[in-house]
Chain A
Amino acid sequence: DAGITQSPRHKVTETGTPVTLRCHQTENHRYMYWYRQDPGHGLRLIHYSYGVKDTDKGEVSDGYSVSRSKTEDFLLTLESATSSQTSVYFCAISDGTSGRGTDTDTQYFGPGTRLTVL
């Protein structure tokens, strides 16, 4: 999976508890993304990062926050988990540089984290 790991891989938690998911890459890619995948919705972007301490919101950012203090790590936090946040969460990375003549917009995905909020 292109040097991307996600932890934990599975988590069950209760409504109202904080949850942090971690994405770790060894590719030194600039861009990192968090998506959620739900039946019938495909993948929806939660937040993304375009550099250390540089992040921005995606389509479904409400209830989520992120942090990126190092190039290799991108954390997704659910401050107070709700049942609607039960989903499979994927991290992705992208080189995103220009001028190399390669497909730099290609994203590489981690294996996913299955989160259940009871």
Chain B
Amino acid sequence: SQQGEEDPQALSIQEGENATMNCSYKTSINNLQWYRQNSGRGLVHLILIRSNEREKHSGRLRVTLDTSKKSSSLLITASRAADTASYFCATCPGSARQLTFGSGTQLTVLP
């Protein structure tokens, strides 16, 4: 079973616009992570937010976490064509060194 579920499944925007992806999960977590996957490649870690954090920034990325709603969002500002990829949230529950991935959001940034 999947812990994280991304929304929307697919998103198409123009270059320069902001992209927002959401993730909902079911059980308590230690941290939540976002990964990017370019077509035909492995996943690349973007950002990790811990359960006691509410917001985190990294370059053009902004992640929020609401543990009361069991949800997170990833905002990519001023998107570029190179941001075209699939984005996955992954939850890490408790002390287990395992991640449970959602099914991903396919982002297409049109030039």
B61-111, CB < 8 A from A = 88, 90, 92, 97-104
Enumerate chain A residues within 8 angstroms of B45, measured Cβ to Cβ.
106-108
A1-B42, A90-B43 are known contacts. Are A42 and B98 too (CB-CB below 8 A)?
no
Contact residues on A (Cβ < 8 Å of other chain), bracket? 20 to 34
Total B residues in contact with A, Cβ cutoff 8 Å = 23
Q: In the bound complex, what is the Cα–Cα distance between A96 and B99 (angstroms)?
A: 12
Contacts across chains A and B counted by CB atoms under 8 Å: 60
Residues of B with C-beta under 8 A to A109? 42-44
Bound together, the chains give a CA A50 to CA B97 distance in angstroms of 9
In the complex, which residues of chain B have a beta carbon less than 8 angstroms from the beta carbon of A111? Answer: 41-42
Nearest opposing residue in chain B for A88, CB measure:
B40
Q: In whole angstroms, what is the CA distance A52 to B111 when docked?
A: 48
> Given A105-B30, A105-B31: A42 and B88 within 8 A (CB)?
yes
Q: Are B97 and A105 interface neighbours, CB within 8 A?
A: yes
Knowing A59-B1, A105-B92, A106-B33, say if A43 contacts B97 (CB, 8 Å).
no
Chain B residues closer than 8 Å to A94, beta-carbon distance: 97
Does B11 count as interface, using CB distance less than 8 angstroms?
A: no
Q: A106–B48 contact, CB under 8 A?
A: yes
Is the CB–CB distance between B43 and A43 below 8 Å? yes
